[in-house]
Chains A and B, each alone.
Chain A
Amino acid sequence: MNEQEFLEYVQSGGQVETTDWMPDDYRAKLIKFIEMHGNSELMGVLPEREWILRAPTLQRKLALTAKVQDEVGHSQLIYRVVEDLGKPRERCLDDLISGKAKFHNVFHYPTRTWGDVGVIAWLVDAAAIISQKALLKCSYAPYARIMKKICWEESFHILHGRDVILTLMNGTGDQRELVQESLNRWWGPLMQFHGNPIAKEEDPMYVWRIKSQGNEEARQQFLDGYVPQIWELGLTVPDPKLRKNDEGIWEYSEPDWDELRHVVTGHGPKTEERLDLRRTARENSAWVRKAVLAEAA
Chain B
Amino acid sequence: MNEEVQRTLLEIADDELILGWRDSEWTGVAPLLEEDVAFSSIAQNEIGHARALYELVARAQGTTADALAFDRSPDEYRCAPLVELRLMDWAETIARHYLYEEADAKRLEQLKQLDDPEIAGLAAKIDREEAYHRIHAQMWFDRLQDEPRFIEALEKLRPQAETLLDSTKRGEHTPELTDLWEEMTMVRRSQPVGTTW
Contacts and interface: CB of A to CB of B under 8 A. Distances in A.
Interface of A: 42, 45-46, 49, 51-58, 60-62, 65-66, 68-69, 72-73, 75-76, 79, 89, 114, 167-168, 170-172, 174-175, 277-278, 281, 284-285, 287-289, 291-292, 295
Contact of A56 (B31, B36, B197): B197
A286 to B, nearest CB: 8
Interface string B36-73: 11001101100110110010000000000110011000
A66 B44 contact: yes
Contact of A52 (B24, B33, B69, B143): B24
A175 B191 contact: yes
Interface residues of B, number: 45
Contacts of A46: 28
Contact of B47 (A56, A58, A69, A170): A58
A114 B33 CA distance: 26
Given A45-B28, A72-B27, A291-B144, 17 more contacts: A53-B183, A54-B187, A58-B47, A58-B50, A62-B47, A65-B27, A65-B44, A66-B40, A68-B27, A69-B37, A69-B44, A72-B28, A114-B187, A171-B196, A172-B192, A172-B195, A285-B31
Main SS class of interface, A? helix
Given A60-B197, A73-B37, A171-B195, A281 B29 contact: yes
Contacts of A60: 197
B53 to A, nearest CB: 11
B2 interface: no
17 contacts: A52-B24, A54-B187, A57-B70, A58-B69, A61-B24, A62-B44, A65-B40, A69-B36, A73-B37, A89-B33, A114-B197, A171-B195, A175-B195, A278-B29, A281-B29, A284-B90, A285-B32
A65 B147 contact: no
Contacts of A62: 44, 47-48, 51
A58 B25 contact: no
Contacts of B197: 56-57, 60, 114, 167-168, 171
Interface of B: 21, 24-25, 27-34, 36-37, 40-41, 43-44, 47-48, 50-51, 54, 65-66, 69-70, 88-90, 143-144, 147, 149, 183-188, 190-192, 195-197
A284 B51 CA distance: 33
A213 B27 CA distance: 33
Contacts of A56: 70, 185, 187-188, 197
Given A69-B27, A69-B40, A58 B66 contact: yes
Given A68-B28, A289-B32, A292-B143, A58 B65 contact: yes
Contacts of B24: 49, 52-53, 61, 65
Nearest to A164: B197
Q: Kindly name the residue among A174, A285, A289 whose own CB sees the greatest number of chain B CB atoms within 10 A.
A: A285
Contact of A289 (B31, B89, B192): B31
A34 to B, nearest CB: 15
Contacts of A295: 143
A285 B31 CA distance: 5
A57 B41 contact: no
A200 to B, nearest CB: 33
Contacts of B30: 285
Q: Kindly name the residue among A72, A175, A277 whose own CB sees the greatest number of chain B CB atoms within 10 A.
A: A72
Contact of A54 (B25, B147, B183): B183
Contact of B43 (A65, A171, A281): A65
